[in-house]
Amino acid sequence: MPTKQTRIKQLLGRLEAFTVDVIYDRRHDVKAQLWGFFLGILSLLFRSIVWLRGWLYQIGLLRAAHLGCLVIVVGNLTVGGTGKTPVVEKLARSLRDRGRKVAILSRGYKSKREPFFKKWWRLLTHTEAEKPRVVSNGKSVLLDAFVAGDEPYMLARNLPGVVVLTDKDRVKAGLFAIREYGCDTLILDDGFQYYKLKDHLQVLLIDKSNPFGNGQMLPRGLLREPIKNMKRASYVFLTKSDGIKDEALETQIGQYRPGLDLIECHHAPQYLQRVGSDEQRPLTDLAGRKVSVMSAIAVPESFETFVEELGATIVHKHRYLDHHRFDPWELAEITEESANEGIEWIVTTEKDAVRLPKDWDPKVPVYFLRVEIKILSGVDDFEAVVSRICFPRQTLRNTRPPFRL
């Protein structure tokens, strides 16, 4: 039974869900239109702040730090839903396998934060700032998903030999990675808007199925910055591609960055793995099964489509907001419902699986769908991508135009 605090959390969650529906233009009633108008006003303010920040870097009042090693940024113009984590994982693995000492720097979205009063006491007493959180030292995973955040934890678990750090200050985290672990390659996870650290390469991800949302800035739309700022990109990955040429999108990209390399890819399911164990099953085992799906990701439709295309019948769809942390009573309701209706499996995403309680003992087997990046066009395979954008090192200079507004 939910507590009072949980009910307040639910109320705020419903407001957030309503806002997401407005941003994605899923609702068109009077309430949605009024709320959309208000969000549109806030978008104008947000656009002004983004412009001012970029201008301050352009005129030199704010400066980017140089750390003296290869820095690769992977990010998006929009919030959520581009499939960034598998791209970061594949890139880091390829660089690691070629002998680079790689560190992934993440801000650790939805990770456990330093307590407010502790932070202010540290500032007042001029105490040294906390060190970056070491999710993985390249040998062992040291933090769980609650402390590290789900994406850094997932990357650390899947990438032995790669250092994973979380800190809002990526300059501090980068220096720490170089000093403590001897890293020579830094990958900024979700760093396209992070100007404080001088990069060599910017890899921009664009969701081909919904490239720029409704074209408006946050909070009315999905854009973190204007579309024209894609000119900072060195390479563009068109993710969630169906392999069909989209001339209108390519023309739009070409307007802002003529001659930019476009690499099309999609997220290909690999296998099913039971949550809490090493048991793996082939994708063919989904065929003909009655399942429930459970996800807390930005675009659940892509995941649900995967499950249906693999032959499963989805009886219930349980959708939550991106990065949602499941309460025990929510999980109990889902498993109770599935058990009572004869549903064979509950299927979730890998990102959601790392947020499930380790002591959870569901009445119905729960599996997550493991997906990886597959290149469709632009290059032959992912190794060719790495060769093109990262080697040889002497070609790293002048790989992209300077920042301009």
| The pLDDT value given to residue 125 | 58
Q: Is residue 402 part of a domain?
A: no
Q: Is residue 121 part of a domain?
A: yes
124/233 same-domain check: yes
Indicate if the pLDDT at residue 87 is higher than 70: yes
Q: Residue 47 is part of which domain span?
A: 4-59
Q: Which of 156-165, 282-291, 320-329 has the lowest mean pLDDT?
A: 320-329
pLDDT band for position 400 (cuts 50, 70, 90): very low
* pLDDT, tens digit, 9 for 90 and up, residues 316-348: 999 998 888 898 889 999 999 999 999 999 999
142/200 same-domain check: yes
Q: Is residue 401 part of a domain?
A: no
Q: Is residue 178 part of a domain?
A: yes
Average pLDDT over residues 386-405: 51
- Indicate which CATH number applies to the domain containing 168: 3.40.50
Q: Which of 43-57, 110-124, 204-218, 223-237 has the lowest mean pLDDT?
A: 110-124
- Counting DSSP H helices and E strands in the chain, the numbers are 12, 13
Indicate if the pLDDT at residue 140 is higher than 60: yes
pLDDT band for position 259 (cuts 50, 70, 90): confident
Q: Is residue 101 part of a domain?
A: yes
Q: Is residue 400 part of a domain?
A: no
Three-state SS sequence of the chain: CCCHHHHHHHHHHHHHHHHHHHHCCCCCCHHHHHHHHHHHHHHHHHHHHHHHHHHHHHHCCCCCECCCCEEEEEEECECCCCCHHHHHHHHHHHHHHCCCCEEEEECCCCCCCCCHHHHHHHHHCCCCCCCCEEEEECCCECCCHHHHCHHHHHHHHHCCCCEEEECCCHHHHHHHHHHHHCCCEEEEECCCCCCCECCCEEEEEEECCCCCCCCCECCCCCECCCHHHHHHCCEEEEECCCCCCCHHHHHHHHHHCCCCEEEEEEEEEEEEEECCCCCEECHHHHCCCEEEEEECCCCHHHHHHHHHHCCCEEEEEEECCCCCCCCHHHHHHHHHHHHHCCCCEEEEEHHHHCCCCCCCCCCCCEEEEEEEEEEEECCCCHHHHHHHHHCCHHHCCCCCCCCCC
Q: Which of 75-89, 249-263, 376-390 has the lowest mean pLDDT?
A: 376-390
Measured CA to CA, the distance from residue 197 to residue 207 in angstroms comes to 25
326/206 same-domain check: no
251/349 same-domain check: no
Measured CA to CA, the distance from residue 106 to residue 121 in angstroms comes to 25
55/83 same-domain check: no
Q: Is residue 284 part of a domain?
A: yes
243/277 same-domain check: no
Q: What's the chain's average pLDDT?
A: 88
103/184 same-domain check: yes
pLDDT band for position 1 (cuts 50, 70, 90): low
190/233 same-domain check: yes
| The pLDDT value given to residue 387 | 82
- Higher-confidence residue of 404 and 174: namely 174
* pLDDT, tens digit, 9 for 90 and up, residues 13-64: 788 888 988 998 888 899 999 999 999 999 999 999 999 999 999 999 999 9
Global pTM? 0.88
| The pLDDT value given to residue 112 | 59
| The pLDDT value given to residue 55 | 95
Indicate if the pLDDT at residue 405 is higher than 80: no
Angle at 275 between CA 326 and CA 2, to 5 degrees: 20
Q: Is residue 384 part of a domain?
A: yes
90/234 same-domain check: yes
228/101 same-domain check: yes
Domain count, the chain: 3
Q: Which of 81-85, 137-141, 151-155, 177-181 has the lowest mean pLDDT?
A: 81-85
148/204 same-domain check: yes
pLDDT band for position 275 (cuts 50, 70, 90): very high
* pLDDT, tens digit, 9 for 90 and up, residues 381-394: 777 778 877 764 44
Indicate if the pLDDT at residue 150 is higher than 70: yes
- Higher-confidence residue of 3 and 230: namely 230
- Higher-confidence residue of 35 and 83: namely 35
21/106 same-domain check: no
pLDDT band for position 123 (cuts 50, 70, 90): low
